[in-house]
Amino acid sequence: MEELDVAIVGGGPGGLAAAAAILTARPELRVAVFERSSLRPRGASLGLQPNGVRALGAISPKLEAAVRQLDSQPGIRRHFADDDSLISIKDEDGPLKYVARHGGGPIIMCAWHSLQTTLAAELPEGVLRQQAPLDRYAEAPADGNGQGAGPTLHFKPGTHPPVNARLVVGADGSQSGVRVQLLDDGPPLFADTAIWRAVQPRPSWWFPEPGTYCIFGTPPHMMLCFGLVDGSVAWQAFGPWPKERLDEIGGGRMVYISDAVARREEGEARRARALEVFGGGCSMAVSLIKEADALAITEHGQFYHTAEACKVWGRCRVSLLGDAAHLSTPILSQGTAQAFEDALALGRAIGEHGATPQALRAYEMEPIHEESVRLFLDYRAGGAPPQEHLDNDRIGAWMHELAPLKPATAAGAAA
């Protein structure tokens, strides 16, 4: 059976960044990332906040440089209610320059899939194992000192042979199977909100200014949309959805994959539900929903964990990372940035303590989570839309000290 030092479950940006960080700190360690599917288009877009960009740079300047190439560089932000323009902010006095003035650094706007494939390309060959869905892990019995050997990971039949690992990190997202087995604390909470996403060709009516970022709608409805570097447009729309109809949008799952083998009727049903919520609003938002390829539309409920549920991340030789540890909401746009900060902290802890339970306990920290949930629930109740750049600045998210990650010393590497 294959023996690993660290097995990471989940090949999203957080899991891939964690592998890069561990190998930066301890190049000699045997690290593998197990991704349940293959790398293929999924999700839509994200805004990587300045602290997340700096976390990548602290892991590897080369990695940060590669990710910066994905940036769509929005230069103007437009807000619309129905078909009326509420505000138009140019970058010289708007959120992006505001970030720069306050020392936070750049915000990178990119496609989720592009970020994932870029991070994967920077890992050594053989680290990423695709189509390896975890079934369960089994912990070895404790020895006389209360310590056990590393867990054994078992995968779905016919996918990947079992492996032993000294440490297991669950970076497998909001519906983390590792979390279910580790904490058994029940599913995340439903925020009475549905989210639809898609990437599609840029429409003929799109704004002439390069890098336009649009917000359509008013609480509790909102669509965020911006152009990507490949000329396409990515959008995500979220609005109220009753709990008694949760099964119509996937039940307790959060599914970001654009599934090319799904039946087109399912995609059209997703479109119809999105139009049910947004059809009476801004004509530009409605046209984006109508013009998207049915198979490109993803749909799921918005879920979150309470602050209390995020206090424990791990036990013994198993821990969690990113959404698996501290699922928040789209407000603050800190999800990916926090996963990258987790990855950096994990790499630093393993660099100091080796592949040991002590490293996991040293890594586990307090995330920027509670404020994101609070702002989202306030917004969902009809409050004013949060101002991402002001809120991130107010809570100090952009200004985290993120020192460069260095390889462990020869003495430390003996751990």
For the chain, give every domain's residue range: 2-71+106-187+309-414, 194-304
Q: Tokens in use for 278?
A: 């947004």
At 36 the pLDDT is 93
Q: Tokens in use for 150?
A: 């590393």
What radius of gyration do the chain's Cα atoms show?
Answer: 21
CB atoms within 10 A of CB 130: 16
Residue 337 CA to residue 109 CA, distance in Å, equals 12
Residue 322 CA to residue 46 CA, distance in Å, equals 15
Residue 56 CA to residue 50 CA, distance in Å, equals 10
Per the listing, tokens 């000192």 go with 145
β-strands 163-170, 318-320 pairing: parallel
Domain 2-71+106-187+309-414: homologous superfamily in CATH: FAD/NAD(P)-binding domain (3.50.50.60)
Beta bridge partners of 45: 111
352: CB partners within 8 A, 6+ apart: 359, 362, 408, 412, 415
β-strands 108-111, 45-48 pairing: antiparallel
At 144 the pLDDT is 45
Residue 169 CA to residue 153 CA, distance in Å, equals 11
User: Mean pLDDT in each 10-residue stretch from start to end of the chain (415 residues)?
Assistant: 96 97 97 92 78 93 93 72 64 49 69 93 97 92 58 96 97 92 89 91 83 80 86 91 92 54 80 94 92 90 84 91 87 85 95 95 75 66 66 60 75 46
Smallest CA-to-CA distance from 81 within 215, 217, 214 is with: 217
What is the torsional sign of CA 37, 226, 51, 315?
Answer: negative
At 218 the pLDDT is 77
* Amino acid letter, residue 342: D
Residue 127 CA to residue 163 CA, distance in Å, equals 13
Q: What is the pTM of this model?
A: 0.84
* Amino acid letter, residue 5: D
CB 11 within 8 A of CB 120: yes
SS3 (DSSP) at 293: coil
Give me the helix-helix angle, 335-353 and 50-59, nearest 10°: 30
**Phi, psi (rounded to 5 degrees) for 171:** -115, 40
What is the torsional sign of CA 129, 342, 329, 92?
Answer: negative
